[in-house]
Amino acid sequence: MTFMFKDRSQAGHLLAQRLEEYAGRDEVVVLALPRGGVPVGYEVARTLGVELDILIVRKLGVPGHPELAMGAIASGGASYLNKNVIQYEHVSREALDMVYNSETLELKRRERLYRGRRAATPVAGRVVIIVDDGIATGATIYAAVKALRMKRPEKIVVAVPVAPKLAANRVLSVADDFECVHTASAFQSVGQFYDRFDQLSDEEVHEFLGKATRLRHPESA
């Protein structure tokens, strides 16, 4: 089998080549989706010389049908609710609040684990590049963009190494731009396009963020 990418770092390097117009611009920030998107995002941010942070997204599942999203929350207090799903599924305000509060606690736990005491990077008025290691259905990225839009960035770019051809249209329905190294017609999973596709640990995510901070602020090392 011939793989498209050796690993996530190589994929990030190739992806960065498609994003050269954003290099060295202070208003640009890369937000990587943990865990798999972090090494890709790190390489993109390092190559472009821009800031790196994470965008943690938690789906708000319908009670009793958790696989069905009625919204999403994301880092920095961004949120998105799908009112059509909430009404169709007859989700009460109490049930919605319960799911929202539960997922908010989990999101904050993960933010503390990955980011420590460092506050989320401001995105209002900035160009935000959302990076993941690939798109399968597009649901997570779709929710991430919808939630992030509430924070009023100037522009949202979704950038991934690989995605099915049909995913591009869904992403572009909410994002301002979409960059992808390889769009595939035969698509089973993101991992099929990588030679190495190991699961990242929480510690590795934390290490990547630390390296990115030291690159931009050597005095803090």
DSSP secondary structure of 120-141: PPP-TTSEEEEE-S--SSSHHH
- How high does pLDDT run on average in the chain? 90
Instruction: Answer yes or no: is pLDDT of 221 > 70.
Output: no
Tell me the residue ranges of DSSP E strands in the chain: 28-32, 51-54, 57-62, 65-74, 78-81, 127-131, 155-164, 177-184
Instruction: Answer yes or no: is pLDDT of 220 > 60.
Output: no
* Over residues 39-57, mean pLDDT: 95
DSSP-derived secondary structure for 164-186: EHHHHHHHHTTSSEEEEEEEESS
pLDDT value of residue 118: 78
Picking from 8-17, 49-58, 122-131, which range would have the lowest pLDDT averaged per residue?
A: 49-58
Spatial distance between the Cα atoms of 149 and 153, rounded to a whole number of angstroms: 7
Spatial distance between the Cα atoms of 3 and 128, rounded to a whole number of angstroms: 29
Contacts (Cβ under 8 Å, ≥6 apart) of 190? 36, 133, 134, 135, 136, 162, 197
Percent share of the chain, pLDDT over 70: 97
The structure tokens listed for 141 are 């990225």
Instruction: Answer yes or no: is pLDDT of 219 > 80.
Output: no
- pLDDT single digits (tens) 127-150: 999 999 999 877 778 888 988 898
Element (H, E) at 87: helix 83-88
* Over residues 78-90, mean pLDDT: 89
pLDDT band at 98 (very low <50, low <70, confident <90, very high): very high
Lookup result for tokens 């169709």: 88
Distances (CA, A) of 129 to 45, 84, 172: 9, 28, 13
* Over residues 155-165, mean pLDDT: 95
pLDDT band at 76 (very low <50, low <70, confident <90, very high): confident
Spatial distance between the Cα atoms of 179 and 168, rounded to a whole number of angstroms: 9
Element (H, E) at 102: helix 93-115
pLDDT value of residue 19: 98
- pLDDT single digits (tens) 198-207: 999 988 998 8
Q: What angle do CA 29, 112, 28 make, to 5 degrees?
A: 5
Give the number of other Cβ atoms within 10 Å of residue 64's Cβ: 9
The residue that leads in pLDDT, 50 or 219, is 50
